[in-house]
Every structure is written in structure tokens, then in C-alpha cells.
């Protein structure tokens, strides 16, 4: 009986410890609040850095990111996925979420971006212009049309009277970049920020037609956020001076 009582005490203590761990803890002894941010894939690096800054300024707070194509994120939100903040790579996908009332405030535009061509290091196929991408021996990858970078690609094609024949259409811009850096493609269309972030893994080839398809990035707190104050504060960090400086350093244009 004495052994059984001792085992029961140990099991109870273990269960209590597990429960406390599940609730989250911090160095200061309080529970941790998680702010979930749905953000366009092209924002990955700069938002990850801003998330760390936000956490350092808000004790017992963790920022959890879901990075993907804006169209996928908008669809998830409209299907009820829990989130606190949405940052889209275009206004069209943000509007889809506004129309379903998951976002009821007026989104704030915080950045712009344009396309560039990327090739493997050294540009082995000597791509020099947008029209070079139609060469039959060139494996080109782009974003799918419903994704902001894909929509921008379609606008560029239409304005330039160029029709591309990609070997694949990817669900977000980081997948396009991955196809090029892995050698699976000879060229791809990505944002200038993604090309800059890739460093010497790619060679970037600018083209003047890209100015005809500028993507504007909006951000807004989700209406049913359980952490409305923190969601608003993250929004303010992104749209404020520190956020603007970080975005500019990453290659984003002003809204």
C-alpha cells in the first residue's frame, strides 16, 4: 500500500509537470502567449528577424510564423484557420479575406516588390532579357497564376507580348528559387528580394518590363484574434520605422 501511494504521488507529479510544460513557460515564470502570423513566403527572412525583435520586446511572447503563397494562406484563413495577423504579397488575396469578414479593419500597405530573373551562378545559359526565357532549350520555372508572383508574371507577359512556357508552376516564390538553386531549372522569375537573399547561389538578371507589375504588400490583424493587442503591436512594428528599415535593407520598396 505504501508503494502504491508513492507511485500515485509520482504519477500525479509527472502529470502536473507535463501539463505545465504544455501550457508553456518562460524564464520569468509566466505562461507564454503565441502570436500566429500568416505571411507571404517572400517575407520569410525579414519577418523572422522582426519576430525575434518582437519577442525580445514582449516577454513571455512567442511569434509563430506560417509562410506560404498568399493565395494558400488566404484560403486557409477563409476556411477558419486560427491566426492573429495576415501579411499578403498582394492586395487581391488580402481582399479575399476582407470579403469573408475574417479581417474587418482596413489593411495597411507596408512594402512593394518587383520581379527579376534568376539563373544558376554565372548565368551558364547567358540569359540577358525576358525574351530569352522563351528559348526552347531553356528550362524555366515560374509561380502559379493564383500566387502573387505568378500574377505579376502574367502581367509582365501580357504587357511585353511574351508568352513563357515554363516546365513547372510553383505554389510560392521560394519553390521557384529552390528549383533554380538546385539545378532543376535554368532560369526562374522571383522577387528581387528573394534573389538578394539567395546571395551567390544565383545570378540575378534585371529586366525593364518588371516595372509594369509592382506588387503591394498589405498587413492586418485577424478579426477574431485571441491576442488582439499583440496582433496590433506586431502590425505596428512592421509598418513603423524599424519595420520599414528592415524591409528596405532586405530590398523591399516603400508602399
CB 77 within 8 A of CB 97: yes
Asked if the structure places residue 70 within a domain, the reply is yes
For residue 5, the model assigns a pLDDT of: 38
Q: Band the pLDDT of 86: cuts 50, 70, 90.
A: very high
- The Cα angle at residue 46 between residues 42 and 49, in degrees rounded to 5: 145
Residue 16 pLDDT > 80: no
- Mean pLDDT across the chain: 90
Domain residues for 147?
115-212
Question: Is 120:13 a contact under the CB 8 Å cutoff?
Answer: no
Q: 145 and 79, same structural domain?
A: no
Same domain for 148 and 94, yes or no, is no
One domain for residues 225 and 177: no
**pLDDT higher at 19 or 234:** 234
Residue 126 to residue 38: CA distance in whole angstroms: 37
Rounded Cα distance, 181 and 121, in Å: 8
Q: Report the number of distinct structural domains present in the chain.
A: 2
CATH number for 153: 3.40.190.10
100 and 122 share one domain: no
CA distance 162 to 221: 38
Task: Say yes or no: 157 and 243 in one domain.
Answer: no
Alpha helical stretches, state H, the chain: 2-23, 44-57, 70-78, 91-99, 148-160, 173-181, 192-198, 228-239, 241-249
Give the C-alpha separation, 162 to 174, whole Å. Answer: 24
Residue 228: inside a domain: yes
Whether the model pTM is above 0.95: no
State whether 124 and 204 are in the same domain: yes
Evaluate if residue 252 carries a pLDDT over 50. Answer: yes
106 with 222, same domain: the answer is: yes
Note the pLDDT of residue 224. Answer: 96
Are both 184 and 238 inside the same structural domain?
A: no
pLDDT value of residue 15: 38
What percent of the chain is predicted at pLDDT more than 70? 88
Question: Coil, strand or helix: which one is 156?
Answer: helix
Domain membership of residue 8 (yes or no) is no
**Position with higher pLDDT, 144 vs 8:** 144
Same domain, yes or no, for 71 and 188? no
Taking the chain, what is the end-to-end CA distance rounded to the nearest angstrom?
72
Q: Does residue 135 lie in a domain region?
A: yes
Beta carbons within 8 Å of 134's beta carbon, 6+ residues apart: 162, 163, 164, 165
173 known member of a binding site: yes
Same domain for 130 and 172: yes
Does 185 share its domain with 206? yes
pLDDT given at position 133: 97
Residue 151: inside a domain, yes or no?
A: yes
Q: Does some domain include residue 185?
A: yes
* DSSP states along 53-75: HHHHHSTTEEEEEEEE-HHHHHH
191 labelled ligand-binding: yes
CB 78 within 8 A of CB 210: no
Residue at 19 is within a domain: no
4 domain-assigned: no
Q: Are 105 and 229 members of one domain? A: yes
Q: In the predicted model, what is the mean pLDDT of residues 237-252? A: 97
Reported as a single tens digit per residue, the pLDDT across 114-173 is 999 999 999 999 999 999 999 999 999 999 999 999 999 999 999 999 999 999 999 999
Query: Residue 12: what pLDDT?
Result: 38
Q: Distance between CA atoms of 185 and 170, rounded to whole angstroms? A: 12
Amino acid at each position: 500500500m505504501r508503494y502504491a501511494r508513492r507511485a500515485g504521488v509520482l504519477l500525479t507529479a509527472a502529470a502536473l509537470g507535463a501539463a505545465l510544460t504544455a501550457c508553456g513557460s518562460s524564464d520569468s515564470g509566466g505562461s507564454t502567449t503565441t502570436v500566429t502570423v500568416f505571411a507571404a513566403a517572400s517575407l520569410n527572412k525579414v519577418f523572422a528577424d522582426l519576430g525575434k525583435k518582437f519577442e525580445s520586446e514582449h516577454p513571455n511572447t512567442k511569434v509563430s510564423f506560417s509562410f506560404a503563397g498568399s493565395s494558400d494562406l488566404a484560403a486557409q484563413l477563409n476556411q477558419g484557420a486560427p491566426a492573429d495577423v495576415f501579411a499578403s504579397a498582394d492586395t487581391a488575396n488580402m481582399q479575399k479575406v476582407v470579403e469573408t469578414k475574417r479581417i474587418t479593419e482596413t489593411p495597411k500597405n507596408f512594402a512593394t516588390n518587383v520581379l527579376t530573373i534568376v539563373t544558376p551562378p554565372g548565368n551558364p545559359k547567358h540569359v540577358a532579357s525576358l525574351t530569352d526565357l522563351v528559348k526552347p532549350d531553356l528550362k524555366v520555372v515560374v509561380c502559379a497564376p493564383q500566387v502573387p508572383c505568378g500574377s505579376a508574371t502574367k502581367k509582365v507577359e501580357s504587357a511585353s507580348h511574351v508568352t513563357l512556357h515554363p516546365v513547372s508552376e510553383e505554389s510560392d516564390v521560394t519553390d521557384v528559387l529552390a528549383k533554380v538553386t538546385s539545378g532543376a531549372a535554368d532560369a526562374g522569375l522571383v522577387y528581387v528580394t528573394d534573389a538578394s537573399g539567395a546571395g551567390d547561389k544565383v545570378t540575378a538578371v534585371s529586366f525593364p518590363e518588371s516595372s509594369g507589375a509592382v506588387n503591394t504588400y498589405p498587413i492586418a490583424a485577424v478579426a477574431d484574434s485571441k491576442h488582439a493587442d499583440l496582433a496590433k503591436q506586431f502590425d505596428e512594428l512592421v509598418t513603423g520605422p524599424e519595420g520599414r528599415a528592415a524591409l528596405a535593407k532586405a530590398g523591399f520598396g516603400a508602399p
